Structure 1
Amino acid sequence: MRIVIALGGNALLRRGEPMTAENQRANVRLASERIAEVAPDNELVIAHGNGPQVGLLALQAAAYTEVKAYPLDVLGAQTEAMIGYVIEQELGNILPPEQPLATLLTMIEVDRDDPAFATPTKPIGPTYDRETAEVLAAEGGWTIAADGDRFRRVVASPRPRRIFEIRPIRTLLESGAIVICAGGGGIPTMFDEHGKLHGVEAVIDKDLASALLARELDADLLVIATDVDGVYVDFGTPQQRRLGVVTPDELEGLDLPVGSMGPKVEAACRFARASGKEAVIGSLADIADIVRGTAGTRVRLS
């Protein structure tokens, strides 16, 4: 079975943890142990988030004032390589030595007229108290937004349109490699009025990019792995109930919190409708049961 796994941010860094290399590696090691359970007899493609890592690189770059700070597309490319390296190493320490692994920098096209550029919503980087966030916003020209009782930088999140490296991804997959790609939603790029391709100061949602990736690879299953075991109605109340099998129409018709679950629901629905196959939102810890069909919220046409 061909499976695309979209790793949530908790697979790399848990909320409140210091953003050290050691913490991120420890979390990737745990994620790799789970992924290794489903590696035998399956073709795997792994995507992942990178918001905190991009934010950290941006802060580090801002501390060096001799040159202009690097743009988000370049920082995105750096984090794709960094996170891919750690995933490759940790998976390689678990899987048989003959299992090939490959990380591929992935450019994804966005529309320069996407309305998202007028309303930044995608959080990146660490959280701050209000006073610190406002100072940083003034200094860097940031847009900030509330994240619980804290604040984070937010940037535009345009829709993914095309994956430029889809052919080499497919070639690697068909040769038996586990492919790590589209990290952080891919590197956002677009064509200018002269037809030249260049990077964009934005972040593509990794779940929507993963849905596009799964669709273009003709995947049998899209797994959106997060820190909860599915989508809940009446979450946080005595009546809360996890959804089992649900259609896209039913899922979109529910009154669910927007939050971080919104893009996951949208991505699952998009893949199910476009492919006629199944997307599952669930816990990374349950990934073996998700692949067996016994865990997570399963989104399919019927």
Structure 2
Amino acid sequence: MRVVAALGGNALLRRGEPLGVAAQRRNAALAALALAEVARDHELVVTHGNGPQVGLLALQAAALRDVAPSPLDVVGAESEGMVGYLLCQELGNVVAQPVAGVLTQTLVDLDDPAFAVPTKPIGPASSNGRRRLVASPEPLEVVEEPAIRALLHHGVLPICAGGGGVPVARGAEDGRLRGVEAVVDKDLAAALLADRLGADVLLLLTDVDGVYGDWGTPDSHRLERVTPAMLDAERFPAGSMGPKVEAARRFAQAGGRAAIGALEDAGALLRGTSGTQVVPELVVAPR
């Protein structure tokens, strides 16, 4: 099977951990072990988050008094390269195939209404508890999709679409790509890439064991096997599980199977025995 595995940002830099390379390398090594189980028998593409990392790099750049801060798209590319490097190295240590990081651009529309209402938090909270909010437009196309296809054709495991990919837009007059001040939701970009690559399964890997209905109430329960229509009847927080649920819903609507759950359960999620499985439709066994 062809599998796209999307690592959440918290899978690489966990809540409460120091914002340093040592913690990220340690978590990348753990992620590599979980992903190696999938790569052993299946064709794997890995994407990853970068929310904590891009915010940290932006703060570091702003601290330089005599140097103009880098634009957000460049900072996004820096974080994509940094996390991609760690994952490439750790995965390369445990899988039996070549691994390559692909610095990825994601096409967005400058007329997307998301630019008028920034909603995506990046980086750590400031001393007053606030986080920087930036626009998060809809991903339309993964620019490096042909390169990713070529790598798969030659047996290479690609690590790509980090942080949803660097958001770019085409100039109206010259058609040239230019970076924009925004971030693309990593889960929606992973779902788009999985659909375009014809993946069989989309794994959305995080630090919890699945999606819960009636969260925060005495009736809270894990959703085990659901359809897009069943998800439409639930409500999920926009800042946490909401994007993952929407990504899973979109991929299942297109005919694939998506699974949301803990990173360490990647193999069981793929087998369909763990987490929340989102399928196009439920099949009722004959009596």
Report if TM-score (shorter chain) is over 0.5: yes
Write the deviation string for residues 279-298 of structure 1: whole angstroms up to 9, x where unpaired.
11111111110111111111
Write the deviation string for residues 41-63 of structure 1: whole angstroms up to 9, x where unpaired.
21111100111111111111112
Instruction: Give the secondary structure class of the aligned counterpart of 1:151.
Output: coil
Partner of 2:187: 207
8 Å Cα contact 2:148-2:158 kept in structure 1:
yes
For 1:190 and 1:205, how far apart are their aligned partners in 2?
A: 16
- The letter for the 1-side match of 2:51 is G
For 2:45 and 2:234, how far apart are their aligned partners in 1?
A: 30
Offset at 1:258?
3.2
For 2:234 and 2:11, how far apart are their aligned partners in 1?
A: 27
Q: Aligned runs of 1:48-197 on 2, under 5 Å?
A: 48-96=48-96, 99-130=97-128, 150-194=129-173, 195-197=175-177
The 1:79–1:255 alpha-carbon spacing in structure 2 relative to 1, beyond 3 Å, is closer
Write the deviation string for residues 60-87 of structure 1: whole angstroms up to 9, x where unpaired.
1112122211111111111111111110
1:219 equivalent among 199, 217, 241: 199
Offset at 1:162?
0.8
For 1:31 and 1:238, how far apart are their aligned partners in 2?
A: 33
Partner of 2:271: 292
Write the deviation string for residues 83-139 of structure 1: whole angstroms up to 9, x where unpaired.
11110111122223xx10000011110000000000001111111232xxxxxxxxx
For 1:56 and 1:216, how far apart are their aligned partners in 2?
A: 32
Partner of 2:253: 273
For 2:200 and 2:153, how far apart are their aligned partners in 1?
A: 14
2:214 equivalent among 234, 242, 254: 234
Instruction: Give the secondary structure class of the aligned counterpart of 2:39.
Output: coil
2:237 equivalent among 226, 239, 257: 257
For 1:175 and 1:183, how far apart are their aligned partners in 2?
A: 21
Partner of 2:225: 245
For 1:162 and 1:249, how far apart are their aligned partners in 2?
A: 25
For 2:161 and 2:207, how far apart are their aligned partners in 1?
A: 20
Partner of 2:28: 28
Instruction: Give the secondary structure class of the aligned counterpart of 2:95.
Output: coil
Write the deviation string for residues 192-236 of structure 1: whole angstroms up to 9, x where unpaired.
232332000000000000000000100000000111111111223
Instruction: Give the secondary structure class of the aligned counterpart of 1:128.
Output: coil
The 1:250–1:39 alpha-carbon spacing in structure 2 relative to 1, beyond 3 Å, is same
For 2:8 and 2:275, how far apart are their aligned partners in 1?
A: 14
| TM-score (ref. length: structure 2) | 0.95
For 2:70 and 2:145, how far apart are their aligned partners in 1?
A: 26
For 1:103 and 1:258, how far apart are their aligned partners in 2?
A: 29
For 1:106 and 1:86, how far apart are their aligned partners in 2?
A: 16
Offset at 1:26?
0.6
Offset at 1:277?
1.3
Of residues 234-243 and 78-87 in structure 1, the stretch that sits farther from structure 2 once superposed is 234-243
RMSD over equivalenced CA pairs, Å = 1.1
Instruction: Give the secondary structure class of the aligned counterpart of 1:126.
Output: coil
- The letter for the 1-side match of 2:227 is T
Instruction: Give the secondary structure class of the aligned counterpart of 1:209.
Output: helix
For 1:3 and 1:291, how far apart are their aligned partners in 2?
A: 9
- The letter for the 1-side match of 2:100 is A
| TM-score (ref. length: structure 1) | 0.90
Q: Aligned runs of 1:1-12 on 2, under 5 Å?
A: 1-12=1-12
8 Å Cα contact 2:40-2:95 kept in structure 1:
no
Q: Percent identity?
A: 59
For 1:168 and 1:256, how far apart are their aligned partners in 2?
A: 35
Partner of 1:139: none
Offset at 1:255?
3.0
Instruction: Give the secondary structure class of the aligned counterpart of 1:68.
Output: coil
